[in-house]
Structure formats: structure tokens, C-alpha cells
Amino acid sequence: MKSVQFIKKEHIGFLYLNSPKTKNALKSEDMRLIREILDKEAKSDIYALIISGRGNVFSSGADFTEITSIIGKNKKDQELQTNDMSKLCDAIQSFPFPTVCALNGSAYGGGVEIACACDFRIAVSNIEIMVPPAKIGIHYHPAGIKRFLNIFGASATKRLLLTATKLSEKELKNVGFFDEIINEGENVIERAHDFIKLCKELSPEAVRGMKLSINDMVMDSVNTQSLNSRIKHTLESQYLERQLKSIKEKNSK
């Protein structure tokens, strides 16, 4: 059984973490595979991506058995394993199309960061999150801390990382972690699909450009040249030309 599944339907990509017996824990090879999928699909005909998990847990993050097998043995391997999660979340955040994390259950560790790296989060009810690296003596990587700060704010990020406590659905609502929580009986994938298909009717150039610009601003990595290039690209797009033509024709009637 493949630990990562990717399906395309109606020009939306569906990426599933598919190791429910291990709470969708990700080995380094899984993280690299997802990055390869993202790199390929960034050039495809999809307009959005939905990331979810199989089973009752979205993801428990990096595979704990893999982490414990390398701690104290090889510093280079430890750094590579940590970097794999950081690079995966960087790849999700910089993916050029809108992304929705369809949380089919609770998230832990790197699973929380994956959710934070997505543009939107839609979840089933009664979930919790926890980020436990301090329990085993690991300093979370800086880009991940920045992602947590952007979503949760300083106070909740400190609770997550410095006390390793669980945040409940009510607490997550209060800090704005969710875009939606589905009702009992609803399907989280179907709701994520309905939510993101709104993008289909919008300018792909504008959506892509603004997504990347927003993320650059959030991560304090704005490049003025890139920003201006994105703006220029939308002004030269066929979509804008068609819309202006349509408005002109309506006004002339």
C-alpha cells in the first residue's frame, strides 16, 4: 500500500497521507515523494490542491521511529530528517495554487505545521493538536516556528512549543486556526472541494500571484522585483483582457 496517494479530479489535486495504522506518520522518503509530486503538479492543469489523511488522524508528523533511530548516532542524518519536514512545508506553502488542508482528524508535530503551511483549513469536529518536540529535546526548526506564529500568534505558539500541551477545538477556533468546521455527517473532502472550487472562476494569474505575494509578506521575504513582476503579469493576461472587454460590452448596451 502506498503511503502517499495523489489523484486528480475536475482539475483539483487530492493528496492523501495513507498510513492510517501509524497515524499517517511521514518518513523522510514520504516527505521527499510529496515534494516531487508538488513540483510536478505545479506545472500541471490543476487550479487547487487538497491535502488530507486516511483514517482518524490527519498526521502525527515525522515518523517517531525514524527520529529515534538516528538521534545520537549521526548528526548529519538528524539534520537531514529535520530539514525534510521544513522543506516539505516550504514546498506546500510556496505551491503556486491555493491549498486546503482537509483535516480528517487531529494533528500532531509536523502534521500541525503541514496544516499551517496550507492556505485554508477545513476540519471535522472534536479535533486537537499538539507539537511535542520539547518532550524529546528537539528545537523546532525556525521556518516552522514562523508558520505557527503566523497562524496562532505568539501566546498560543508558546503554549504549543514550550509546554507541549494540546489545544482543543474551542481553543483552535479562538485563535482562528480553522476556516470551517464541518457538521456531523458531512464529508470533509467534499466540503473542501466545494470551498476551493470558488477559485475556478477567478483569474489564475491573479490568484497565483497574490498567494505567493501574501506568503512572501507573511514570511518576511518580499522581493520587490518578484512582486512587481506578478502585478505586471496580471495586467498583461488574457483573463483581464476578456473581463475588460465584457465590461465594455455591457456598458455599451
pLDDT of residue 206: 94
Q: In the prediction, which pLDDT does 70 show?
A: 52
- Residue 247 has a pLDDT of 85
Are 145 and 230 contained in the same domain?
A: no
User: Are 162 and 223 contained in the same domain?
Assistant: no
**52 and 79 in one domain?**
yes
CATH code of the domain covering residue 189: 3.90.226.10
How confident is the model at residue 244, as a pLDDT?
84
For residue 83, the model assigns a pLDDT of: 76
Asked if residue 118 and residue 19 are part of one domain, the reply reads: yes
At 154 the pLDDT is 95
59-116 per-position pLDDT tens digit:
999 987 776 655 555 555 555 556 789 999 999 999 999 999 999 999 999 999 999 9
Domain check: are 214 and 107 in the same one? no
Looking at the structure, tell me whether residues 73 and 193 fall in a common domain.
yes
164 and 227, same structural domain?
A: no
Regarding whether 212 and 88 lie in a shared domain, the answer is: no
- pTM of the full structure: 0.90
Residues 125 and 195 in one domain: yes
Residues 54 and 155 in one domain: yes
pLDDT at 6: 97
Q: Is 184 in the same domain as 224? A: no
Range of the domain at 80: 4-200
Which of 174, 200, 226 is the C-terminal boundary of a domain?
Answer: 200
Q: Which parts of the chain sit beneath pLDDT 70?
A: 67-82, 253
Q: What is the pLDDT of residue 144?
A: 94
Q: Concatenated DSSP letters for the chain?
A: --SEEEEEETTEEEEEE--GGGTT-B-HHHHHHHHHHHHHHTTSS-SEEEEEESSSEEE--B-HHHHHHHTTT-HHHHHHHHHHHHHHHHHHHT-SS-EEEEESSEEETHHHHHHHHSSEEEE-SS--EE--HHHHT-PPPHHHHHHHHHHHHHHHHHHHHHS---B-HHHHHHTT--SEEPPTT--HHHHHHHHHGGGGGS-HHHHHHHHHHHHHHHTT---HHHHHHHHHHHHT-HHHHHHHHHHHHHHH-
In the chain, how many domains are there? 2
Same domain, yes or no, for 125 and 230?
A: no
pLDDT at 74: 54
